[in-house]
């Protein structure tokens, strides 16, 4: 079937997404999502978001991973949603309804965007997990992450991909498994790499992975006080993106602050 409907491509710290306006688009099927997210035969993206504008102050979304599976939350996509909404003249702060819960989107200094996640009804918990002989910390910051703190920097390799796949299904995470996040300190910055479920590879960055790494690295769930200056985060695979995680009432909320922008807009000519 031929059509001529618009889509938007946005990225947030290297994490990229196709955005559809629900006024023009019904919910896509799995074949469409996988085809459009394909980096050779489609637009290319880590995920797809169908946005519904409820009012100038409120929206909701459907979020799909690249393999068409659904995820309750995505921190980078939430900030990308803020950039998408800003182009449509909404009011900020803006409430985004997700399967995880309510997320407050807002503008931040320096052309950045913030996404504030509320954990009042989904309490943050940190569980020590033995996985493949390594001690990790399982934290659900919207989706579950097995955080593996490292003593030195890592680079992506086939060996690391194999290792991450082996860590994907700690029994404590349930049948869908967990994202695998590697983190280490570089001075006062936490560097992060995440192997994402639903993508099944390392992405340039992962918002909920950066939140999880910040929680573990800060020690705030182990008795330390949340740092007043926040936690500086840098995705290893997108090093030009500087982000921070703040909290005014830890552990009830976390705020992810960082860049997001519209890359381009286009039109699909057919559904396949």
Q: Give yes or no for a contact between 143 and 167, defined as CB atoms under 8 angstroms apart.
A: no
Range list of β-strands (E), the chain: 2-12, 15-21, 47-55, 58-65, 94-97, 102-108, 112-118, 126-131, 134-140, 144-149, 179-186, 189-196, 201-203, 231-235, 243-246, 253-258, 261-270
As a whole number of Å, the end-to-end CA separation of the chain is: 8
Name the catalytic one among 10, 74, 192, 214. 74
Q: What is the DSSP code string of 222-243?
A: GTPPPPTT-EEEEETTSTT--E
Count of other CB atoms within 10 angstroms of residue 13: 29
**Among this protein's residues, is 74 annotated catalytic?**
yes
DSSP assigned state of 68: S
Name the catalytic one among 45, 49, 146, 206. 206
Distance CA 20, CA 266 (A): 11
Sign of the dihedral defined by the CA atoms of residues 123, 74, 206, 86, in that order: negative
Query: Would you name the residues annotated as active-site residues?
Result: 74, 206
């Amino acid at each position: 079937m031929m059509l001529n409907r618009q889509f938007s491509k946005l990225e947030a710290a290297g994490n990229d997404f196709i955005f559809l306006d629900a006024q023009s688009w019904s919910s896509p099927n799995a074949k469409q999502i996988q085809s459009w997210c394909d980096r050779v035969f489609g637009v290319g993206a880590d995920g797809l978001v169908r946005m519904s504008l409820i009012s100038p102050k409120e929206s909701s979304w459907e979020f799909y991973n690249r393999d068409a599976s659904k995820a309750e939350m995505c921190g980078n996509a939430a900030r990308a949603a803020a950039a998408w909404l800003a182009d449509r003249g909404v009011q900020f702060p803006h409430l985004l309804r997700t399967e995880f819960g309510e997320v407050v989107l807002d503008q931040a200094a320096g052309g950045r965007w913030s996404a504030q996640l509320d954990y009042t009804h989904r309490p943050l918990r940190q569980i020590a997990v033995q996985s493949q002989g390594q001690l990790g910390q399982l934290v659900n910051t919207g989706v579950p992450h097995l955080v593996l703190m490292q003593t030195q920097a890592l680079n992506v390799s086939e060996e690391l991909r194999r290792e991450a796949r082996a860590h994907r299904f700690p029994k404590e995470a349930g049948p869908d498994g967990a994202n695998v996040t590697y983190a280490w300190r570089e001075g006062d910055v936490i560097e992060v790499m995440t192997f994402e479920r639903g993508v099944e590879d390392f992405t340039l960055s992962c918002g909920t992975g950066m939140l999880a790494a910040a929680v573990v690295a800060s020690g705030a769930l182990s008795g330390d006080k949340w740092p007043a200056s926040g936690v500086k985060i840098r995705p290893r695979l997108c090093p030009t993106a500087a982000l921070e995680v703040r909290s005014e009432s830890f552990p009830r909320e976390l705020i992810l602050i960082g860049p997001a922008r519209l890359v381009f807009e286009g039109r699909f000519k057919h559904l396949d």
